[in-house]
Amino acid sequence: MKRIALAVLLAAPLFAPVAVEAAPAAQPIPVRTVVMQDRKFHPQVIRLRKDVPTRIVLVNRDMSGHNFSAKGFFSRADIRDAGAGSQAIREGIVSVDSESTRSFVVTPRVRGPFDLTSSVALDVASGMQGQILVY
């Protein structure tokens, strides 16, 4: 009987509840919102971190469509969650209809400054340009 009691006491730690450490929560994806209004990008400089996925939200508040063109940037970035326009984004242009919003996730792979413009001639003549700065 003493042997059984001793065996139970020695085996008890094997069946004791074990504290399980929870997995760390996933980091939220940063969001950068760019408003297109009055033929301007607001802000004009968009700062992104290299290798950090970031959701870009493009909001067009004008009555006409605009586009967000950054061919040098998009050719050096990974793009996801872009929906039907993903191929156009990979080619460097995101079209945003009047009074609408587009969003996608981009992961910059190269540091540097990249030109941002609209490929619509009237937008360019009105100064619709900016920069994407990856650091």
Under a CB-based contact definition with an 8 Å cutoff, are residues 111 and 73 in contact?
no
Q: What is the mean pLDDT of the chain?
A: 85
Under a CB-based contact definition with an 8 Å cutoff, are residues 98 and 123 in contact?
no
Average pLDDT over residues 75-81: 90
Under a CB-based contact definition with an 8 Å cutoff, are residues 103 and 55 in contact?
yes
Whether the per-residue pLDDT at 124 is higher than 60: the answer is yes
Domain limits, the chain: 29-134
CATH class of this structure's domain 29-134: mainly beta
| β-bridge pairing 100-108 and 54-60 | antiparallel
Average pLDDT over residues 5-21: 56
In this prediction, residue 90 carries a pLDDT of 74
Whether the per-residue pLDDT at 57 is higher than 80: the answer is yes
Which of the residue ranges 10-19, 51-60, 77-86 has the most confident prediction, judged by mean pLDDT?
Answer: 51-60
Instruction: State pTM to two decimals.
Output: 0.77
Confidence of residue 40 (pLDDT cuts 50, 70, 90): very high
